[in-house]
Structure 1
Amino acid sequence: MEVIELLKELLKFRSITPDDDGAMNYITLLMSEFDAKLLDINGVKNLILSKKFGDGLNLCFAGHIDVVPPGDGWSSDPFEPEQKDGYIYARGAQDMKSGVAAILQACKDAREFDGSLTIILTSDEEGDGIYGTKEALKYLKDNNSLPDFAIVAEPTSTNKIGDMIKIGRRGSINGVIKVNGIQGHAAYPSKCINPIHQASAVLANFAGYDMDAGSRYFDPSKIVITDIRGGMEVCNVTPSELKIMFNIRNSDLTSYEDVKQYCEHIFNGLDYELTLKESSKPFLTDADSKIVTNLIDSINRICGVRPELSTTGGTSDARYFAAFGVPVVEFGVVNDRIHALNERVSIDEVAKLYEVFSDLIRYFK
């Protein structure tokens, strides 16, 4: 099966972020019927492939060729794919060279489509992502070639291929609150300002607080404290400051400004400093969007299941499509060994993913 052989070839590239190890050149030659644009930005490779079949919609498939470091303890060479018992073992097998292989083979085999097909691949998804997919989309926007719809082939299935697609993602806001005090001897508390005592009076209304009630597709945006530290780990000196670190995976019902205002409300009256950083914004694609309904139909025809629509998990490059106003979904193989030792993917899942993408291209309307 061609898609499986292609996957094996992709898995041989030691494409640890942001190094593509030559994979983009290989893919450009493979997809010779597509127009190719390579954007090399600060060591990050971004490949845009496009082919116009007709005057209809522009459908985009996207993914990343880069992988995380393999680590030690593998049963086989992580960059020499091993096929065994219906699986292929290698770094990137699930996340996400299986998705890239299915994209490339489905688009390569496409003979008819009422519109244009675009493929965006980057070598910087597992890293900061600053010079990756976002830059490719900027280029397309500047050239009036933004896609109408997009699908990112991240591994989204849970128990079997086709049981879940992502129609959105939560955002992520990291915060640090530093409560200032005056250090002193524990025997003379009146001569100190103990930031731990001050913070403890308000933490009950902060730790684990739900910023919203959630919605059909999003859980509540909960404040999760990840670290609290202060003092010198001795029993007779009060600390001069207390640092509280937290994260919020926020829905589209809670914004950066909402979090900032709530922190200011809770810690009002204390001598504190607040630092907030929004690493990604939440997004949600309409469940009635063409990309969602057509993908559901293709999954049902090929896999015989109706997928759950979800927004769970961390972040992905789908957020960049949403930021450019492109309706986007994510769909791929089962996610159970990504970033783990002896990462593997089911051969049957890869074959079905290719068939789903081929079916989507064939019947997209």
Structure 2
Amino acid sequence: MNLNALSLLERLISYPSITPKECGIYALVEKIFAQALGENAREVITQEREGVKNLFLYTPRKAQRHLCFAGHIDVVPPGEGWSSDPFTPAHRDGYLYGRGAQDMKSGVSAFVCAVRDFLVRNPSATQDLQISLLLTSDEEGEGTYGTRYMLDELESRGLLPTMAIVAEPTAHAVCGDVIKVGRRGSINGKITIFGKQGHVAYPQNCINPTELLGARLGELAGVNLDKGDAHFEPSKLVITDIRGGMEVVNVTPNELKILFNVRNSPQTTKEDVRSYVRKVLEGLDFTLELRQSSVGFLSDSSLVAMMSACIESVCGRAPELSTSGGTSDARFFGARGIPVVEVGVPNDKIHAIDERVKPQDVQRLYEIFTRFLEQVSRGIA
């Protein structure tokens, strides 16, 4: 099957793989490797639970170094208003249009072709380096049975990688200008302040939780919980919702609920958030619920340095190192202490109407991954 990174991306876009649908993409990827490498050159582990499908494709010879390329083939729903069918790849104005063009079928196409071509040219490389691909159909959803679930399985089989590349769209303007070298954690919180409902004409008979909150709101909304550092912005408490009462003007609320999120650096923990909120609301009748949906991490400097050097070699300039943005499946590698970086095409149109990518960015990503494989196979990492 003679597919390059761009033509494979066109094929992948044509699959309407809205979370958690896989739509047969894994069979295509397996066929690509079987035709190029033969049946005995790779092993396969598949998982399926609650409609989520995972694929782990790997070279069978174990080695001390194990490089894993990871990504998701699921996409968010396209929405209305597209200039063309979102699942029919379309070239115009110098772009390839289609749902998943940036997030992240471009990344999957680039590393599938890079690994395939590298192994065809260097069949003996796997004597000292195990190479794998991990694909999931549940990154855009809850992620419960996606990459994290597969990593649990790999750990039980002694197949956890020693380094990983997640091909999320990370760039601003052109592929390679920004890479993610870590991620902030995410802590979700819910505060319930209790009062006593009553008639507004008799405030002396009421305990209004809105008034109890009063000036203390300024100590919660938008406050920085730490100063950040060279790699991370300060951990900011961001209130996302405040509600209470019955949407009438003559009854005070019985309770007030506040929802918030903290994208936290490693300097601030869930317990730090708990202590701070309790201090601010001391003396009030309230409850606090906290849930850590992801833990922040900073990747191994040697892996970052190697990837940066590869990007500079291909693109002519070193990338900006960033930990900004939301969460990704890289957090599951980071949580296990596996060095991981995220490298991909620009992300200016992810999840948007008329999502599109420049073909040259897809080709550049393929070249970056190819260069990295060449370097790591020489034992540089």
- Runs of 4+ residues over 3 Å off in structure 1: 52-56
Partner of 2:350: 338
Residue 321 of structure 2 aligns to which amino acid in structure 1?
L
Residue 333 of structure 2 aligns to which amino acid in structure 1?
F
Counterparts of 2:203 and 2:226, CA distance in 1? 38
Counterparts of 1:39 and 1:143, CA distance in 2? 14
2:325 corresponds, among 313, 326, 340, to 313
2:273 corresponds, among 236, 259, 274, to 259
Counterparts of 1:71 and 1:92, CA distance in 2? 13
Counterparts of 1:254 and 1:129, CA distance in 2? 24
Partner of 2:22: 20
Residue 239 of structure 1 aligns to which amino acid in structure 2?
P
Partner of 2:253: 239
Counterparts of 1:103 and 1:86, CA distance in 2? 22
Counterparts of 2:93 and 2:315, CA distance in 1? 21
Q: Does 1:137 align with 2:151?
A: yes
Counterparts of 2:62 and 2:307, CA distance in 1? 21
Residue 88 of structure 2 aligns to which amino acid in structure 1?
E
Task: Summarize deviations over 1:39-73 as a string: whole Å, max 9, x none.
Answer: 11221111001115784511110000000011111
Say which SS state the counterpart of residue 80 (structure 1) adopts: coil
- Structure 1: gaps of 5 or more residues: none
Q: CA RMSD for the aligned pairs?
A: 1.3
1:3 corresponds, among 2, 5, 13, to 5
Mean Cα displacement is larger for which, 177-186 or 120-129? 177-186
Number of positions where the alignment pairs a residue of Structure 1 with one of Structure 2: 363
Partner of 1:106: 114
Partner of 1:219: 233
Q: How does 1:251-330 map to 2 (within 5 A)?
A: 251-286=265-300, 288-289=301-302, 291-330=303-342
Partner of 1:49: 57
Residue 149 of structure 2 aligns to which amino acid in structure 1?
E
1:153 corresponds, among 160, 167, 184, to 167
Answer whether contact 1:167 1:285 (CA < 8 A) is retained.
yes
Counterparts of 1:101 and 1:136, CA distance in 2? 21
Task: Summarize deviations over 1:103-159 as a string: whole Å, max 9, x none.
Answer: 100000013334111110000000000000112111211111111100100000001
Q: How does 1:20-99 map to 2 (within 5 A)?
A: 20-32=22-34, 33=37, 34-51=42-59, 55-99=63-107
Residue 332 of structure 2 aligns to which amino acid in structure 1?
Y
Task: Summarize deviations over 1:88-116 as a string: whole Å, max 9, x none.
Answer: 10000000000000010000001333411
- Structure 2: gaps of 5 or more residues: none
Counterparts of 2:146 and 2:338, CA distance in 1? 17
Answer whether contact 1:61 1:152 (CA < 8 A) is retained.
yes
Answer whether contact 2:43 2:60 (CA < 8 A) is retained.
no
User: TM-score, normalized by length of structure 1?
Assistant: 0.97
Answer whether contact 2:19 2:74 (CA < 8 A) is retained.
yes
Answer whether contact 1:125 1:317 (CA < 8 A) is retained.
yes
Partner of 1:168: 182
Mean Cα displacement is larger for which, 144-153 or 32-41? 32-41
Residue 66 of structure 1 aligns to which amino acid in structure 2?
D
Counterparts of 1:6 and 1:163, CA distance in 2? 24
Counterparts of 1:191 and 1:221, CA distance in 2? 40
User: TM-score, normalized by length of structure 2?
Assistant: 0.93
Residue 162 of structure 2 aligns to which amino acid in structure 1?
D
- Percent of aligned positions that are identical: 52
Say which SS state the counterpart of residue 104 (structure 2) adopts: helix
Mean Cα displacement is larger for which, 7-16 or 229-238? 229-238
Partner of 2:141: 127
